[in-house]
Amino acid sequence: MSYNESDLRELLNEHGHGRAGREPSARLDAIVRRGRRIRRTRRAVTAGTALAFAAVAAAGLTGLLPAGAQRGEGAAVAQQPVDSARVTPGPELDDTMKVALGAKKFDLHLIHSQRFETVGGMQKVTFTPTSVYTGDKVVCDDPRAWVVIQYRGNGPEPIGSRGRCEGSIGGHNDELSVPSDWLKRPQSMQIWVFPGDAPVREVAEAVNGCRPRMKGKDCDEVAQSVALGNPEVRRRLSALVGEQPSRWAVGIYDRPAPSASAVPTGGPSVAPTATVVPTGGPTVAPTASAVPTGGPTVAPTATAVPTGGPAAEPTAAVTASPTAPTP
């Protein structure tokens, strides 16, 4: 409870004198000054407590903010890019593929590409070839990964490549290797990529004995690559290794697509047709009115074309000569 100065004076007057009516033991002015000092001290203490509480609350809120926000860098930190050292682009494909067919050498350009994040299964890639020389290339994060590429060829058996990735694996075609409809519709290929430590030899030996290509050789990597052409070997291998994280990419290379020709091909050019003259009735030539001078007006005559005959060129209107009156 607070008291004003008048309350204090009244209280001091009541209690400042003795019962016998003696003078107060202390001067009133000194007591009032002491009361004012006490009141100022209390106000200062109250204000200091409030400031201390505010400081503690501010410190608590600052501790809850991110480090960047505590330094006044909230917006700048939020806009900083992710550390590039933590993000790797994966295996890169070349922009071109060099082709050598005897003395004929040229470059194929990348026309289609796809990237994958896992190995252990089959992926289907669809593309539209622009020539019979279409090429393909697979690149892997794991150079020891096993790769199988298959697509239709000019025969009953599929064609493609098999073996270790070793940076890249693939090949290209020519007019003798592609099917007859190669350029008539989109084509597709199937690609299997297995991890480098996949048990290819064990599975191949269990399926067909992994017969070596040459006498005196065991089931070496050449024989294992050949064994991967067996669908049963691939099926069992996929079931054993399952899907595992590992990045790889495939690129399709070909010649640039030819530009469309403005002149249609496949038939003779058709000349513009002439105006059709209707048949079934006489063609009447246009007539002109003749205005004679000095005599009566005579009606003009028309030239008729017989039905069924050839159409005649329009004839000029016939103008009759006026007949002079007989005296």
Q: What is the mean pLDDT of the chain?
A: 75
pLDDT winner (highest mean) among 9-18, 43-52, 159-168, 298-307: 159-168
Tokens 């991110």 belong to 66
In sequence order, the 6+-apart residues with CB closer than 8 A to the CB of 205 are 219
Amino acid 191: pLDDT? 98
Sheet containing 187-194: order of strands:
122-127, 187-194, 146-151, 159-164
Count the alpha carbons within 13 Å of 178 in the hemisphere toward its beta carbon. Answer: 22
Average pLDDT for residues 229-258, to the nearest whole number? 95
Least confident window among 55-69, 127-141, 177-191: 55-69
Residue 36 has pLDDT above 50, yes or no: yes
Distance CA(135)–CA(254), nearest Å, equals 6
Distance CA 182, CA 133 (A): 10
Residue 218: band (very low, low, confident or very high) from pLDDT cuts 50, 70, 90: confident
Higher-pLDDT residue of 75 and 153 is: 153
* Across 310-320, average pLDDT: 44
Q: Residue 58: what pLDDT?
A: 59
Closest CA to 146 of 32, 234, 265, 211: 234
248 beta partners: 116, 140
Which segment of 190-199, 200-209, 275-284 scores lowest on mean pLDDT? Answer: 275-284
What mean pLDDT comes out for the span 28-53? 68
pLDDT band at 43 (very low <50, low <70, confident <90, very high): confident
Q: What percent of the chain has pLDDT over 90?
A: 45
Contact 153, 189 (CB under 8 A): no
> What pLDDT score does 40 carry?
75
Q: How confident is the model at residue 89 (pLDDT cuts 50, 70, 90)?
A: confident
Taking residues 186-206, report their average pLDDT.
97
Please report the pLDDT score of residue 61 as a whole number: 52
